[in-house]
Structure 1
């Protein structure tokens, strides 16, 4: 009987934790990130750029205040340190504008590899996203 009570207590703790996690996830559903990718560094370079589209479905403006990863020593938003995402709008990071600069990668990455990024927001939320590696040579070039 004692084992049954302990098991039931454990299930209840797990269930209540799952409810708390679901409530936290509901808050982050106001922010969506799509099309996250980065370019495979060329040659022996340990520097690359990451891009994604971020959508703010909330009623308040939110800013990206930082980006980090355990896979790189330094990551920063370029050309400025913060990025405003107005309420009910999307902002696309792309090579001709805003982007995430990733320096001192800790491992060599190849096409298809994943890079886990943690995006910090002005409202205190942190978004975990996965960017996939693309080769710069895979892009369509116009002449």
Structure 2
């Protein structure tokens, strides 16, 4: 998957899958940032001035030689600044991915806490509904009734 092949919509899943996909994106961004950093060093103005700059005389003796040399130098500067800008954008995106991972984990933790509370509450209600006090009171009342010989109950 290339840098520009990233489909951000695919990252909108929730839970562990979403976090795992963000981890992969962060790793890919790390790789691209490393490659850009290496290229950025080669295009850095100081490196370029000593290693890659082309003197106006290299473009011949034409009146346009100094202009061509200037355009060449300017193209290098534009390339270097562009690489630096792309790297800064990627680092910003990477930080946003990390923040999204934290938000997803926090939401998962909150959902788990909420589920524990609901489960505990349902357990309490279920335990309270299993009471046998009414049945025991009825049995006790039946066993302790005073009856006369005619089968009448005393009140």
Q: Give the TM interval when normalised to the shorter protein.
A: under 0.3
Higher helix fraction (1 or 2) = 2
Structure showing greater radius of gyration is 2
Relative to the length of structure 1, the TM-score reads: 0.22
**Structure-2-length-normalised TM-score:** 0.21
Bigger fraction of residues in strand = 1
